[in-house]
Amino acid sequence: MKYVLVTGGVVSGLGKGVTASSIGVLLKNCGLRVTSIKIDPYLNTDAGTMSPFEHGEVFVLDDGGEVDLDLGNYERFLDITLTRDNNITTGKIYQEFEARRPPASDARPRGLSLQRWQQDGGRGSGPGARLFGGQGGCG
């Protein structure tokens, strides 16, 4: 399995989605099986729970998932059917961690914590954050 990552920061309207779709078409025309995943940094679980003034229009998938318009481009360009699982948001990741949290009656209580990304040799001043489950950042 090979991956192609198209990134361009958080600036909207650069053409990242159309570029990813076009690359997908080229790969598909070479006989490769292609799918697409969109990763969005917002804390909402999907684009449908955001204000249209914040996010803009949403695309509704066959399974009812309300996602970014880019997924509509992926479906049309690649002639594939995507599901809500092809759209990953920070909110979905948090929701999944919460669903896996042990019950309060568990003898070994654990929590979720956001910790600084240790990109700078352990001093904790690197950009971003890493999500950990459990105590000590590894459990």
Q: Domain ranges in the chain?
A: 16-91, 110-137
Q: pLDDT digits over 103-130, tens only?
A: 766 666 566 565 555 555 544 443 444 4
CB-CB contact of 40 with 12 (8 Å): no
Residue 116's pLDDT is what?
Answer: 53
Confidence of residue 19 (pLDDT cuts 50, 70, 90): very high
pLDDT digits (tens, 9 = 90+) for 65-74: 999 999 999 9
Spatial distance between the Cα atoms of 89 and 40, rounded to a whole number of angstroms: 5
Tell me the average pLDDT across 89-101: 85
Query: How many Å separate Cα 125 from the centre of its chain?
Result: 24
Write down the mean pLDDT value for the chain. 79
Distance of alpha carbon 40 from alpha carbon 56, whole angstroms? 14
> Residue 80: is it exposed, middle or buried by C-beta count within 10 angstroms (0-12/13-18/19+)?
middle
Residue 11 pLDDT level (bands cut at 50, 70, 90): confident
Supply the pLDDT for residue 64.
94
